[in-house]
Amino acid sequence: MSRYRGPKLKISRRLGPLPGLTTKKPRKLNRPGKDGNAPDTGKKLTEYGVRLEEKQKLRFNYGLTESQLFRYVKEARRRKGVTGLILLQLLEMRLDTLCFTLGFASTIAQARQLVNHGHITVNNKVISIPSFQCRLNDVISVKEKSTSKNLISNNIKNNQRTEIPYHLKFDESKLEATVLDYSDRNDIQLQLDELLVIEYYSRR
């Protein structure tokens, strides 16, 4: 299944706020398919439907394909610890997600484009793979090129991110960040019950 490229507000109306997908807020309050702003009186979701929606939140927020997300779930199961938290930490350690967290881009899709176009370096090497898995003590910085630095400096000003999570140390003057630790559950912006995502994949 390919990456979603359709209307983003329709997804956020159905699943709720997804900070990595879009910064826009829908004007309509109801779920897609309902008339106007009338209250949603549809049928209650089944247990499967609830788990499916939680999985879709994760997939659309981080801009993953179904096969990519399943690979992350398998990797999280393989490691020792709480599977749901490990899954989120793996996704948060992706290079495109870290660029979004640092305020280099307003959405994860925009951060992915920055990485694809070679604006970002890890340990002084240009990395153009958005899914690149960063490790502890990796140094993420902006390519030594005026166009790259100006682009990301403007993005940081426009995004106005006030707090950088404790697991990242960011030097704005150098446009350089160091990964100090894995992310804490409270630092993740997405509102999600990750246990339901693990339950969704439990039969696969």
- Render the chain in DSSP notation, one character per residue: -PPP-S-HHHHHHHH---TTT-S---S--SPTTS-TT-----PPPPHHHHHHHHHHHHHHHHT--HHHHHHHHHHHHHSSS-HHHHHHHHHHTBHHHHHHHTTSSSSHHHHHHHHHTT-EEETTEE---TT-B--TT-EEEE-SSHHHHHHHHHHHHHH------TTEEEETTTTEEEE-SPPPGGG--S---HHHHHHHTTT-
Structural domain of 17: 8-90+189-200
Residues 138 and 174 in one domain: yes
Q: Given this model, what pLDDT does residue 76 score? A: 93
Q: What CATH number is associated with residue 73? A: 1.10.1050.10
Q: Residue 38: pLDDT band by 50, 70, 90 thresholds?
A: very low
Residues 121 and 133 in one domain: yes
Half-sphere exposure of 96 (CA within 13 A, CB side): 23
pLDDT in tens, 130-144: 999 999 999 999 998
Q: What CATH number is associated with residue 135? A: 3.10.290.10
Residues 123 and 79 in one domain: no
How many other CB atoms are found less than 10 A from the CB of residue 132? 16
Helix intervals (H) in 117-193: 146-159
Whether residue 66 lies inside any domain: the answer is yes
Residues 17 and 54 in one domain: yes
Mean of per-residue pLDDT scores for the chain: 84
Residues 104 and 57 in one domain: no
Residues 142 and 177 in one domain: yes
Q: How many distinct structural domains can be found in the chain? A: 2
Q: Given this model, what pLDDT does residue 24 score? A: 66
- At residue 197, does pLDDT exceed 70? yes
Closest CA to 133 of 200, 71, 202: 71
Q: Residue 1: pLDDT band by 50, 70, 90 thresholds?
A: very low
Max alpha carbon distance in the chain (Å)?
55
pLDDT in tens, 58-113: 998 898 999 999 999 999 999 998 999 999 999 999 999 999 999 898 889 999 99
Amino acid identity of residue 112, one-letter, is: R
Whether residue 64 lies inside any domain: the answer is yes
How far apart are alpha carbons 56 and 15 in whole angstroms?
A: 8
Q: Residue 36: pLDDT band by 50, 70, 90 thresholds?
A: very low
Q: How far is CA 145 from CA 86, 148, 149, in A?
A: 35, 5, 6
Global confidence as pTM: 0.85
Residues 78 and 149 in one domain: no
Residues 52 and 130 in one domain: no
Residues 99 and 76 in one domain: no
Q: Given this model, what pLDDT does residue 161 score? A: 67
Residues 114 and 48 in one domain: no
Residues 83 and 148 in one domain: no
Query: Quick one: what percent of the chain has pLDDT higher than 90?
Result: 40
